[in-house]
Amino acid sequence: MLKNPAEKYRPFPAINLPDRRWPNNVISKPPIWMSTDLRDGNQALFEPMNAERKMRIFEMLVRIGFKHIEAGFPAASETDFGFIRQLIEENKAGDDVHIEVLTQARPELITRTMESLRGAKNAILHFYNATAPNFREIVFNQGKQGVKAIATESARQIKELAAKQPETNWTFQYSPEVFSGTELDFAKEVVDAVTEVWDANPERKVIINLPATVEMATPNVYADQIEWMHRNLKRRDGIIISLHPHNDRGTAVAAAELGVMAGADRVEGCLFGHGERTGNVDLVTLALNLYSQGVDPGLDFSQINEVARTVEYCTQLPIHPRHPYVGDLVFTAFSGSHQDAIKKGLAARKEGEIWEVPYLPIDPADVGRTYESIIRVNSQSGKGGISYLLEAEYGLALPRRLQVEFSAAVQKVTDDTGKEVSAADIYGIFEREYLTLTEPLEYVSHTLFDENGKQGVKLRIRRFGVEETLTGLGNGPIDALMHALNVPVLVRNYDEHSLGHGADARAVAYVEVAEDGVPGDIFGVGIDPNIITASFKAVIGGANRVAKRHSAADQKARFGGKLAAAK
């Protein structure tokens, strides 16, 4: 890279529009959308789509709700020509979709292009020639008048040919290619001349597409350019102003949004931003940005994953995991504080309320994404995410202090492996930590009885693998159990809830226990169809976790019961 880039590059000059109005405007309705996936998108693939892939995209675009679909450049290849014929002959566009095609401003190409559209119900004939100074000089070797004449002669030819195909409802479209690099007064001069030839009027509107063929400046500059054209073009009421931003500077979405604020009526782009170089503007992002502001975009992305998989199949290009709205990771939070806020936001939300869940600009469910993908756990995660997954996937609503305790066990695994853990992995850690401990004590069975107004329990357990029967009396079942067990453990807190419904319902009990004389409470968890059994398992599990803090010899001494007493 150069030490002084000014030796090679110059800044884009500001537009002289001191009374610009667009910054105060708000987009309150969607523009007309035009998908150029099958043209600009298709021309920028390693392998252009074959007819089967093109048809899949076309049919999907119709289902999504596009009414303007640029389906190819029929003069360029037999594949494109044949595809346009197939769309028309098989009536794939129905009554309200306009098939659009592109051609250069060259007589033989225009003739061939018009031929491809024979019999179409609604068609948009789109032609272009570049108007920017470097194209005038380098590509066309023409002065301004010569370049303007290329446009007007083609406009005339198109009008004449269209008159010979009256069965079609025609819309004409012109693009001064590289509008973004064209002097505004010259762009206006050419466009005014073209709309004059076409006699643009409110009854017979034409489309004037103002492409940022190459994105050369900040998006506010494009908005100024659009507002200037919007305010200065002749026959404005007979013109649909269309935008066609490319993403060279990474700001195509912003440019399109500001361009619509500046007076544009229509936006051309591709799904997920396919297209030449860095791509065309991403129509999915634009539409869902509108949706997030409460404006119906008129495009249906309620099954966005399906759209993504189809586009990936047809373009043979992957979608980035961080791509807005659709990427695998965009509704995912790994970090603890994000997970905590999302979990609380989802829990606080009531059906029908305005969406205000932290960190999530829209409800993932609205685009067919599931909540499971929102929270993922790795070493950056905290108790919020871990407990969210356990609750969402396994119905376990851990008490807060248990969340803190258990997150340390998960953190240890994520730190050791450096990897993400799934909900199933987390449940596995939970099982290992709380549900499957059988040393030194293992619950076998119990019966309850009354004795002189006291609660009695007859308990069978295995202690260090040896089965024994114990009895105890107390104020309630847990108190009776503690007397029967006779281990140095105190029960501090108790929580329970049901898991599942109906015949398969089970109870889960969370018991916070302490070891007599030792600081640091610890949890035990039990799950069983019977609520008393669940709580006994939880107490015994808690006692086992207390015991684990000691050496084998100490465990025998403290938890050995009669065995220990006999020694």
Binding positions for Mg(2+): 40, 244, 246, 280
Please identify, using beta-carbon distances, which residue of 181 and 542 lies nearer to ligand KIV.
181
Find the shortest distance in angstroms from Cβ 132 to ligand ACO.
Answer: 11
106 binds ligand ACO (CB under 6 A): yes
Query: Measured between alpha carbons, how far is 191 from 234 in angstroms, rounded to an integer?
Result: 9
How many binding residues for ligand KIV (CB under 6 A)?
Answer: 10
Q: Does 37 bind ligand KIV (CB under 6 A)?
A: no
The verdict on 42 binding ligand ACO (CB under 6 A) reads: no
Neighbours of 197 (CB within 10 A): 19
- Burial label for 158, CB within 10 Å (0-12, 13-18, 19+), is buried
CA atoms within 13 A on the CB side of 161: 21
Contact 564, 556 (CB under 8 A): yes
Tell whether residue 211 is a contact of ligand KIV (CB under 6 A).
yes
Residues in the chain: 567
- AA letter at 497: H
Q: Is 68 in the site for ligand KIV (CB under 6 A)?
A: no
Segment interacting with ligand ACO, rule: CB under 6 A, options 100-108, 229-237, 344-352, 493-501: 100-108
**Residue indicated by tokens 């004059």:** 196
Helix (H) or strand (E) holding 81: helix 78-89
140 binds, among ligand ACO, ligand KIV, none (CB under 5 to 8 A by kind): ligand ACO
User: Does 281 contact ligand ACO by CB under 6 A?
Assistant: no
User: What's the chain's Rg over C-alpha atoms?
Assistant: 35
CB-side exposure of 119: number of CA atoms within 13 Å? 10
> Which of 37, 177, 215, 433 is in the footprint of ligand ACO by CB under 6 A?
177
Q: CB-wise, 40 or 405, nearer to ligand KIV?
A: 40
Should residue 128 be labelled a site residue for ligand ACO when binding is judged by CB under 6 A? yes
Subset of residues 109 to 128 that bind ligand KIV, contact rule: CB under 6 A = 128
Binds 175: which of ligand ACO, ligand KIV, none (CB < 5-8 Å by kind): ligand KIV
Q: Which of 274, 206, 263, 234 is nearest to 284 (CA)?
A: 274
3-class DSSP state of 531: helix
35 binds ligand KIV (CB under 6 A): no
Tell me the one-letter amino acid at 61. L
Asked if residue 212 binds ligand ACO (CB under 6 A), the reply is no
Beta carbons within 10 angstroms of residue 156's beta carbon: 13
Half-sphere exposure of residue 462, counting CA atoms within 13 Å on the CB side? 8
Residue 45 in the binding site for ligand ACO (CB under 6 A): no
β 454-463/466-474 pair status: antiparallel
Q: Give yes or no for a contact between 27 and 295, defined as CB atoms under 8 angstroms apart.
A: yes
Binding partner of 209, given ligand KIV, ligand ACO, none, CB within 5-8 angstroms per partner class: ligand KIV
Q: Judge contact between 475 and 455, C-beta under 8 A.
A: yes
Between the CA of residue 170 and those of 98, 114, 119, 502, what are the distances in Å?
9, 11, 11, 63
Q: Under the criterion CB under 6 A, does residue 66 sit at the interface with ligand ACO?
A: no
Return the number of the residue (148 or 246) whose C-beta is nearest ligand KIV.
246
Which of 213, 225, 339, 533 is in the footprint of ligand KIV by CB under 6 A? Answer: 213
Which segments are annotated as binding site? 40, 244, 246, 280
Does the footprint of ligand KIV cover residue 74 (CB under 6 A)? no
| Interaction between residue 140 and ligand ACO (CB under 6 A) | yes
**177 scored as a contact of ligand KIV (CB under 6 A):** yes
Helix (H, G, I), strand (E, B) or coil at 342: helix
Q: Does 147 bind ligand ACO (CB under 6 A)?
A: no
Tell me the window of 208-216, 250-258, 421-429, 434-442 that interacts with ligand KIV (CB under 6 A).
208-216
Enumerate helices (H) and strands (E) in the chain, giving the number of each: 18, 14
270 sits near ligand ACO (criterion: CB under 6 A):
no
- State yes or no: residue 154 binds ligand KIV (CB under 6 A): no
**Residue ranges binding ligand KIV (CB under 6 A):** 40, 102, 128, 175, 177, 209, 211, 213, 244, 246
**Residue ranges binding ligand ACO (CB under 6 A):** 40, 43, 73, 75-76, 104-106, 109, 128-129, 139-140, 150, 177, 213, 276
